[in-house]
Amino acid sequence: AQSVTQLGSHVSVSEGALVLLRCNYSSSVPPYLFWYVQYPNQGLQLLLKYTSAATLVKGINGFEAEFKKSETSFHLTKPSAHMSDAAEYFCAVRRGGGSQGNLIFGKGTKLSVKP
């Protein structure tokens, strides 16, 4: 069975500071990993995904994530936080096997950006 653990339910950074949101996964098959962002009262928007190609994945809005198999991690980073980055971020792993593909989500990390 697959699972995802996000370390830290709340992260606060200052505007212009590095953003680092942590995600560790557990998977018995090569994982497909995703980061989604959710703004208040909205659905989920895909930031980026890893599907076994390049281990460093670049996404929208300046975010990127690096797949590290040895550490079973897929942390999300952004060099310089912007006020508009304040939102909740979810890491997810695709359920393996077959063509089904539903996502298994972490609990989420709420990012606050201080001026």
Partner 1 sequence: GAGVSQSPSNKVTEKGKDVELRCDPISGHTALYWYRQSLGQGLEFLIYFQGNSAPDKSGLPSDRFSAERTGGSVSTLTIQRTQQEDSAVYLCASSLDGGADTQYFGPGTRLTVL
Q: Can you tell me the distance from the alpha carbon of 49 to that of 36, in angstroms, rounded to the nearest whole number?
A: 9
89 binding partner 1? (CB under 8 A): no
Give least dist CB 32 to partner 1, A.
5
Decide if residue 81 touches partner 1 (CB under 8 A).
no
Check binding of 44 to partner 1 (CB under 8 A): yes
115 vs 94: CA distance, rounded Å: 36
Nearer to partner 1, 19 or 92 (CB): 92
22 binds partner 1 (CB under 8 A): no
Could you give the residue ranges of the DSSP H alpha helices within the chain? none
Output 4 or 13, the one with its CB closest to partner 1.
4
Six-digit token string for 60? 């929208």
Give 3-state DSSP helix, strand, coil % of the chain, rounded to 5. 5, 55, 40
Residues lying near partner 1 in the complex (CB under 8 A) are found at 32, 36, 41-46, 49, 51, 90, 92, 94-95, 99-108
